Amino acid sequence: MKLLAIDTSTDFLSLAVLNDDNTVVFHERVGQKHAEQALPHVQSLLCDAGLTLQQLDGVVYGQGPGSFTGLRIGCGLAQGLAFAAGLPVIPIPTLDSVAEQAGATRVVACNDARMQQVYLASYDLAAPRRLSPILLLDPEQAGSELQLDGEGWVGAGDGFAAYPMLASGTWGSQLDAIHSDIRPHAASYLRLAQSGRYPRLPAREADLLYVRNKVALTSREQQARQR
């Protein structure tokens, strides 16, 4: 299988190209320079892998949740490239990639959602499947909103670094280990895409999973608040 994967949902630019058994990766912290750097690195990766865009079977991208603007850069790039080359896109949730890298079967993936909140989901990677919806929570809600059954849970993602309180208390004590340095990674998306569990869509149907969907107050809500 031949795939390109793009994740721009964090301050890392994460890109990878799979040419059957061979994977080449670019994964570096770029701050907000995704737009400036993505396509030039895609070009070098394709070159290193000995592939042209047209030879790929699809373009994988981080579907979210994550930085809104970052997600759209990744999705826009994936769509544009896939549309140009007549390829399908394969959207994969960012937390799925975080969980996949945790090296455990029971994983809680948790990314910093800013505004004092986290994106959170639990996984059984033996199945493999996501056990919960992708939640947007205040850190202190984790214990009541995301129940962890059984033992051997591992936490992964930068949410644990941003909110150390997640690791304390009854809920936190169920986590045997925490890997707060794990970020969505393009190589991980390639492994997930190869599983065949993620649908391939035409470029026009590429979508994003923002999870945080309330981003503004309607006029009515603004008025109610003023009263």
Partner 1 sequence: MLVLGIESSCDETGVALYDTEQGLLAHQLHTQMAMHAEYGGVVPELASRDHIRRAIPLTEACLAEAGKQLADLDAVAYTQGPGLGGALLVGASIANALAFGLGIPVVGVHHLEGHLLSPLLAEPKPAFPFVALLVSGGHTQLMAVRGVGDYDVLGETLDDAAGEAFDKTAKLLGLDYPGGPTLSRLAESGDPARFSLPRPMLKSDDLDMSFSGLKTAVLTLVRHQEAEHGSIDPQTRNDICRAFQDAIVDVLVGKSLKALKQANMARLVVAGGVGANKQLRAALDALAAKGRFEVFYPPLALCTDNGAMIAYAGAMRLKYAQPAGGYSVKPRWDLGSLPAA
Q: Is 153 left (phi over 0), alpha (psi -120 to 50) or beta?
A: beta
Tell me how far CA of residue 2 lies from CA of 8, 19, 57, 173, 203, in angstroms: 20, 5, 5, 42, 17
Helix, strand or coil, per DSSP, at residue 161:
helix
Residue 84 CB, nearest distance to partner 1 (Å)? Answer: 3
Q: How many residues bind partner 1 (CB under 8 A)?
A: 37
Asked, as a colleague might, if the bond just before 199 is cis with ω within 30 of 0, I would say no
Contact 46, 15 (CB under 8 A): no
When binding is defined by CB under 8 A, the residue of 2, 25, 27, 76 that contacts partner 1 is: 76
When binding is defined by CB under 8 A, the residue of 48, 83, 124, 191 that contacts partner 1 is: 83
Residue 149 CB, nearest distance to partner 1 (Å)? Answer: 35
When binding is defined by CB under 8 A, the residue of 27, 72, 179, 200 that contacts partner 1 is: 72
Cβ neighbours around 39 below 10 Å, total? 12
Residue 87 CB, nearest distance to partner 1 (Å)? Answer: 9
Helix, strand or coil, per DSSP, at residue 52:
coil
Is 219 near partner 1 (CB under 8 A)? Answer: yes
Mask for 183-212, x = binds partner 1 (CB under 8 A):
--------------------xx-xxx-x--
Between 168 and 219, name the residue whose CB sits nearer to partner 1: 219
Contact 181, 161 (CB under 8 A): yes
Q: Report the distance separating Cα 38 and Cα 16, nearest Å.
A: 11
When binding is defined by CB under 8 A, the residue of 5, 24, 78, 142 that contacts partner 1 is: 78
Between 80 and 128, name the residue whose CB sits nearer to partner 1: 80
Contact 111, 95 (CB under 8 A): yes
Could you give the angle at which helices 34-49 and 68-85 cross, rounded to 10 degrees?
40
Q: Which one-letter amino acid corresponds to residue 190?
A: L
Q: Which one-letter amino acid corresponds to residue 86?
A: G
Is 18 near partner 1 (CB under 8 A)? Answer: no
Is 133 near partner 1 (CB under 8 A)? Answer: no
- Hey, which residues between 28 and 57 contact partner 1 (CB under 8 A)? 35-40, 42-43, 53
Residue 160 CB, nearest distance to partner 1 (Å)? Answer: 27
The footprint of partner 1 (CB under 8 A) covers: 35-40, 42-43, 53, 68-69, 72-73, 75-85, 203-204, 206-208, 210, 215-220, 222
